Amino acid sequence: MTPFLFSVGIDAFGVAVPKTFVSLTKLAQARGVDPQKYLGGLGTELMGIAMPDEDTVTLAARAAHQALESSNTRPEDIGMLVVGTETAVDHSKPVASFVQGLLGIGPRCRVFETKHACYGGTAALQLAADWIRSGSAKGQKALVICSDIARYGLHTPGEPTQGAGAVALLISSSPRLLALEPGQSGLCSMDVHDFWRPLYSKDALVDGHYSVQCYLDALSGAYADYQANAGTTAAPGTLFSDRFAAFAYHVPYGKMARKAHRQIRTLDGDATPDESFERLVGASLRLPSLVGNIYTGSLYLAVVSLLDATKGDLTGQRLGLFSYGSGACAEFFSAVVQPGAQAAVQALGLSATLARRRELSIDEYEAVMRTREALDEKPLDAAKSAFAFQGIAEHRRTYARPS
Ligand code: CAA
pLDDT at 233: 86
pLDDT at 285: 98
Q: Say whether pLDDT at 6 is over 70.
A: no
Query: What is the residue with the minimal CA distance to atom 3 of ligand 1?
Result: 41
Counting residues of the chain whose pLDDT is more than 90, the rounded percentage is: 91
Query: What is the residue with the minimal CA distance to atom 24 of ligand 1?
Result: 41
pLDDT band at 381 (very low <50, low <70, confident <90, very high): confident
pLDDT band at 232 (very low <50, low <70, confident <90, very high): confident
Q: Say whether pLDDT at 90 is over 60.
A: yes
pLDDT band at 3 (very low <50, low <70, confident <90, very high): very low
Going from the Cα of 123 to the center of ligand 1, the distance in angstroms, rounded, reads 27
300 burial level (CB within 10 Å; 0-12, 13-18, 19+): buried
The answer to whether residue 250 is catalytic is yes
305 C-beta closer than 6 A to ligand 1: no
Q: Which of 54, 118, 146, 329 is catalytic?
A: 118
The answer to whether the pTM exceeds 0.85 is yes
Helix (H, G, I), strand (E, B) or coil at 104: coil
pLDDT tens-digit profile of 169-189?
999 999 999 999 999 999 999
Query: What is the residue with the minimal CA distance to atom 50 of ligand 1?
Result: 252
Using the atom order of ligand 1, give the atom closest to the CA of residue 326: 51
Q: Say whether pLDDT at 379 is over 90.
A: no
The answer to whether residue 109 is catalytic is no
Q: Say whether pLDDT at 5 is over 60.
A: no
CA nearest to 26, candidates 367, 287, 290, 361? 361
Pairwise CA distance, residues 70 & 401, whole Å: 19
Pairwise CA distance, residues 303 & 318, whole Å: 12
Q: How many helices (H) and strands (E) does the chain have?
A: 13, 16
Using the atom order of ligand 1, give the atom closest to the CA of residue 209: 34
The answer to whether residue 261 is catalytic is no
End-to-end CA distance of the chain: 50
41 C-beta closer than 6 A to ligand 1: yes
Best residue for ligand 1 mutational test, from 39, 42, 122 (most atoms within 8 Å of Cβ):
42
| CATH code reported for the domain at 9-397 | 3.40.47.10
Going from the Cα of 43 to the center of ligand 1, the distance in angstroms, rounded, reads 9
More confident of the two residues 232 and 168: 168
Q: DSSP labels for 377-401? A: GPPP----STT-EEEEETTEEEEPP
* Averaged pLDDT of the chain: 95
35 C-beta closer than 6 A to ligand 1: no
153 C-beta closer than 6 A to ligand 1: no
pLDDT at 376: 83
SS (H, E, C) 175-215: CCCEEEEEEEEEEEECCCCCEECCCCCCCCEECHHHHHHHH
Query: What is the residue with the minimal CA distance to atom 28 of ligand 1?
Result: 157
Q: Which of 116, 250, 261, 331 is catalytic?
A: 250
Counting residues of the chain whose pLDDT is more than 70, the rounded percentage is: 98
pLDDT tens-digit profile of 285-321?
999 999 999 999 999 999 999 999 999 999 999 999 9
208 C-beta closer than 6 A to ligand 1: yes
pLDDT tens-digit profile of 325-359?
999 999 999 999 999 999 999 999 999 999 999 99
pLDDT at 4: 42
